[in-house]
Amino acid sequence: MILVLDLCYREHSLGYEEFVMPIARIIEGQGTVVSTLHYRRNPEKAMTRCDGVVLCGTPLQDHAFLQCPDAFSWLADTDLPLLGICAGMQAISLAFHGEVFPALEIGMMDIRAIASDPLLPDQATFPAYELHGNACTVPLGFAVLAESDRCVQVIRHRDRPIYGVLFHPEVRNEGIVERFLSLFCQ
C-alpha cells in the first residue's frame, strides 16, 4: 500500500482533486493499493502499513504547509521510500534542514538531467509541467539529478530512496511515479 499525502491548506479542500487524486490514479493504475491522508492527520501511524509515501503538490497560492515544519520532521527518520512532488519536495528539503525560497515557474519547461538515475526519463532534456511559487535548496546528503534554467528540479538522497521532484510528474511524466513504485515500493 502506498500512502499519498495531501499537503493542501485543509482537509477535503478543492486542491485535493487536482493535486492528490491524479497521483492516486497513477498508482492505482499500477495495481497498487492507495491510501490518501491529509498531512495533519498523523501520517506516522498510517506508515506502519505502507510500502512508500508520496507527498503531493498544492495550489500555487497555497503555502500553508510551510507554516507547519514540525508536521514533516518524521520524514528524516523514516526508512520508507519517499517521493515528494512540488510542495512535497519542499517539505522533504525542510525536514533535512534545507530552505525554501521564492521561484515562480508555470507551464511546460525544459528540464536538464545532470546525473543519470533510473527514476528519470532516459533523455538529456525532457519537458515537464511546472506549477510552483517556491523552490528549495539542496539539503546536506542529497544529490541534484535535474534542473531547469531557474532552479533545481530533482534531488535524491545519497543513501536512501528519497526523491524530491519540483515539477508535476502527473502531467506528461507519469513514468516517474510508476518507476518510483516499481523500483522501491515492491
Residues lying near another protein in the complex (CB under 8 A) are found at: 9, 13-15, 17-18, 21-22, 25, 59-62, 104, 106-108, 129, 131, 133, 170-172
Q: Which residue has the cell 506549477?
A: 131
170: annotated active-site residue: yes
CA–CA distance, 20 with 13 (Å, rounded to integer):
11
* Dihedral sign of CA atoms 47, 79, 59, 130 in order: negative
12: annotated active-site residue: no
Which is nearer to another protein, 22 or 141 (by Cβ)? 22
Of the listed 38, 132, 168, 185, which one is catalytic?
A: 168
Least Å from the CB of residue 60 to another protein: 6
Least Å from the CB of residue 15 to another protein: 7
For residue 47, count other CB atoms closer than 10 A to its CB.
17
Residue 7's alpha-carbon distances to 89, 120, 132, 146, in angstroms, are: 11, 24, 14, 23
CA–CA distance, 172 with 62 (Å, rounded to integer):
23
86: annotated active-site residue: yes
Least Å from the CB of residue 31 to another protein: 16
Of the listed 8, 50, 56, 86, which one is catalytic?
A: 86
Which is nearer to another protein, 15 or 81 (by Cβ)? 15
